[in-house]
Each structure stands twice: as C-alpha cells, then as structure tokens.
Structure 1
C-alpha cells in the first residue's frame, strides 16, 4: 500500500485536494458567492482531479524508469516493488474513474462541454510523460499549466455555470482571485520543474532527454532560474502593496511565508552546485506552494474578524 501511495505521489495529491477545498470553503462559501456544486459535488470534483493526477504520476514513473535508475535508485517503484504491467493497469483504472466522474460532474452543473477539460488534461499528462518532458522547456511549461489548471478548475465548475447578468461582477471578481492563485501555482511549479531538471541532469542526459540544463548547461540554467524567480517576488509584492497594505496580518503572512522563502531561494541559487542543493531548492519551492494554498484561509479569518 505504501508503494502505491508513493507511486501516485500522495503528498502532491493531498495538496491539490487541500487547495480545492479551501477555494470552496475558505474563499467562496463564506462570502456567500453563488456556486454550482454542493458538498458532494466538490468532493466529486476533487476526486476526479486527483484520480487523473494520480494516473499522470503513474505514467510518468513508467516512462522515467531509466532516468530514475540513475537519479534516485532508492525511490524506484515501477519494475521494483510494482510491476510495469500493474502500473499500466492502475494508470488506465485511475484515468477511467477520473474522466468518468468528470463526465458526471459536467452534466451535474449543466455544462456538458466542460467534460472535455478532463479528457484534455488526461491526454496532456500522457503526452507529457511519453514525449513532452524530453523537449526543451515545453514539458516544463505544459505540466505547470496543468498544475495551475487544477486550481482554476474550481472557478470553472463553481462560478461559470451560475454566472448571470445580475451577479456577473462579483462572480468574475472571485474568478480573477482564483485565476491569480492559478498563475501563482503555474509560476512556482515552473521554477520547481527547472530546479528538478538541474537536480536530475545526469540521469536525464543518459536517457537522451533535452532539458534546459542539458541544452545550455547547469550554470546558465541556474541564472535563468534566478531571473524567473524574480517574477513571482515582484508580482506578490505588488499584490501586497496594492491589496493588503491595510491588513497587517495578511501582509505579514505573505512577507514571511511566501516572499521571504522565494527571496531565500533566489539567493541560494548563487551557491547551488550539487544535486543536494537543487533538491533543497525544489523542496523549498514546494513548501512555498503549500503556504500559498494556506493563504486562502486569510480570506476566511478576515471575514470572521
């Protein structure tokens, strides 16, 4: 069971589930925003999302056996504790369940075309694992878009089906907030994907992949990563200055738990040389993403106060 949980990356799936739950119950529900999903509906949306994400993680591991054998042999699951055939079967099962539940939810909210989102996400995760991740930057961008979409999909299914002329302004205001979080997830995941490519350069090179560190070298990629890390820092500072300057607690949270760690990451890049250094940077960015998810609670507590 533990091997299966590690195969589907249960910690990442929990973060997706937490983000979607907080969007529903810390951002939308407390403010009385019109939504299309009840408690069971949001459960189904979360279930569909994590099933498709789990399938994506499985197919990624299947096609990563060669690189993982070099990069992290102690964490190799497919072909070791779980056979490749079993992994393929699990990939198919999770996909069928996720897409099937997505089909039901789309009809539940009266927007059957939304079903195509689940099919597209499932297909892109397969194409990413089998081809795109071997291409220069495209794989990094695509997987980061899908991470952002796991956030945005809540706004798509909760707000758009009940959009009317009367509530248009408030619905779009909250949709923009969710879009901002999706952009934040995209940017941080893009940074993390590049950091992981720096960490895994040896195995990726032996597998014939064309990641950014292989194409332009580790030093240049580190500089690119530093420049990219500046973008979320300025965007979040802009948000804090323009939207949270009167809220000391919220501003403090963003400064100490999000802006500060990203700045630390940028500084750390100057001295990063080893696989261990890049692994630390990757883990730190993941922690920032977690604090970013928890920042949704600020809306809830501010309302209660």
Structure 2
C-alpha cells in the first residue's frame, strides 16, 4: 500500500526536478546580481529595490525558465531515462500530462505579466518562449546549432537587462563573451558524457558526429579562447578588484580543464565539467562581493 504523504512528496520533488527549479533559482540569483552590480550603473540600491518593472521582468524570466525546463524534459524524456535514471524515476510519480498543464500555465502567466509591464517586454518574452520550445522540439538535435542555441537562450535574459539599462562597454562585452564561451564549453563537454545516448536517440552533437579527436580539439580551442578573453579583461582593468582576481585565478582553472580534456578517461571530462560549473558559481559570488565592496 502506498504511503500518501510519501507519494505526494515524491510528486512534488518530481515536478521540481522536471521544472529544473534549482537551475531556475541559480539563474535568478545570477540575474539579480548582474543586473544590479553590472548593468545598473545609475540607480541606488533603494531605487533598484522599488523598481517594480525590473522585478516584473525577472519574475517573467523565472516563469519562462521553469516552463522551458518542463518542455525540454518532455522532449528529452527517453534520453533522460538512460542518462538520468534517478531523476526520471522521481519524475515518474507525476504523469506527463500534468507537466504539460504546468508548462502551459507558466507560459501563459509569463506572457500575461509581461504584457502588463509593456508591449515591448511582452514581445521580448514571446520570442524567448518560442525559441525555448523550438529548441526542445527541433534545434536540440541539429549539429552545432543545438549548442549555440542552448547557450544563447541561457544568456537571453541577461542580454535583455543589458539593453534595458543600455549598458554597452568593452568591459561588459568581454565579460559577456567570457560567459558565452564558458557555457559553450560546458555544453560540449556535457555532450561527450552523453555521447552514446545522444547517438541512440538522434541527437547530432560534436562528439558523436566528429568523434573524440575533433571534440577534444574543439574543447581545447574554446579553453584557449577563454584564456584569451580573461587576459583581455585583466589587460583592460588590471587587478584591482575581486572580479579581476577571479579572472586572473581562472587562468589556472582553464589550464586544469585543458589538462583533463587531454586525458582519455570519461571521469576526466566529468571533473572538467563540474570544475567549470563551480567556477561559474564562483564568478557570481565574486561579482556579488565585488559589488558590495564597491557600493559600501
């Protein structure tokens, strides 16, 4: 006999995993930190706190990310059963139709709130929602386009905030390029770990289309590009802040990633992947601490 409390709890956990709530929370945190400390160059903390238009845009972004996570897991269900058996087992406590209901609810809510903010914000989220669905439906199986689209959709809300605050500078451009390259690197390394499953279910990725040697060369090229980007940021700013120290010390992390990518063991790519993920989180914390130090 099923325990009703355990069953309901399992349904809740399954839904949160299906919606990728933890990814959404991390992106929300990153969006708030980057918006206030990087893009917002004029408003004080008090003005920012009471800028309900910005909070509304971020709220719509969170709803969109949750909706995107649900529709993505709906299309990737068969592959996830092989590559993420524990997560799909938990998600099985909730029928797929409820995920679709949740997706439609989140999508409509996001578009409704965005329309209340302004027609331009509504149009911004219509494009965002469409490409998140189109990525899950078609583009995730298209060679190279899948990686570029995934990274672009991840950065799309940040680009929106940059345009909203009209924050255009060489420093911001280099930081955006740094994030783009590191996310692209993470996505390609992730593809090396799911190579066989991707091939089985028709996902055309760099590792399963070109093979290990080419994918390793791409990873090394992107790592070197990341080093160049970090060096340019250091050359532009010097080493005078926490973020400057972050980019300088990141050169060692990138060297470690290159070393790991040269190894033939699957665990090496797993370590490199998690190292880069942790380094992104460290960057968010560094930006927060740097902003607090500068402000106060």
Do the structures match in fold with TM over 0.5?
yes
- TM-superposition CA deviations, 1:2-57 (whole Å, max 9, x none): 22221122221122111221123334557547989944322222211111111111
Correspondences of 1:168-179 after superposition (within 5 Å): 171-173=167-169, 177-179=171-173
CA distance in 2, matches of 1:202, 1:263: 27
How big is the shift at 1:297? 2.6
Correspondences of 1:5-20 after superposition (within 5 Å): 5-20=16-31
Change (3 A) 1:181 1:16: farther
**Higher relative contact order at CA 8 Å, sep ≥6: structure 1 or structure 2?**
1
Q: Which residue of 2 aligns with 1:288?
A: 279
Alignment gaps of 5+ in structure 2: 1-11
Q: Which residue of 2 aligns with 1:137?
A: 144
- Specify which of 237, 249, 264 is matched with residue 256 of structure 2: 264
- Specify which of 84, 88, 108 is matched with residue 96 of structure 2: 84
TM-score, scaled to structure 1:
0.83
How big is the shift at 1:295? 3.1
Supply the RMSD in Å over aligned alpha carbons.
2.6
Alignment gaps of 5+ in structure 1: 161-170
The runs of at least 4 consecutive aligned structure 1 residues that moved more than 6 Å come to 33-37
- Specify which of 237, 245, 253 is matched with residue 246 of structure 2: 253
Q: Which residue of 2 aligns with 1:227?
A: 221
Change (3 A) 1:179 1:4: farther
1:121 aligns with 2:128: yes
Q: Which residue of 2 aligns with 1:164?
A: none
Contact 2:171-2:236 within 8 A present in 1 as well? no
- SS state at 2:262 partner: helix
Correspondences of 1:24-43 after superposition (within 5 Å): 24-27=35-38, 31-32=42-43, 38-43=50-55
CA distance in 2, matches of 1:100, 1:181: 32
CA distance in 2, matches of 1:118, 1:223: 36
Contact 1:7-1:61 within 8 A present in 2 as well? yes
Number of residue pairs the alignment of both structures matches = 284
- Specify which of 66, 74, 77 is matched with residue 65 of structure 1: 77
Q: Which residue of 2 aligns with 1:199?
A: 193
How big is the shift at 1:119? 0.8
TM-score, scaled to structure 2:
0.86
Change (3 A) 1:27 1:97: same
Of 82-91 and 17-26, more deviation after overlay is shown by 17-26
Change (3 A) 1:199 1:299: same
- TM-superposition CA deviations, 1:192-212 (whole Å, max 9, x none): 111111111111111122111
Correspondences of 1:146-185 after superposition (within 5 Å): 146-157=153-164, 159-160=165-166, 171-173=167-169, 177-185=171-179
Contact 1:191-1:229 within 8 A present in 2 as well? yes
Q: Which residue of 2 aligns with 1:278?
A: 269
- SS state at 1:76 partner: helix
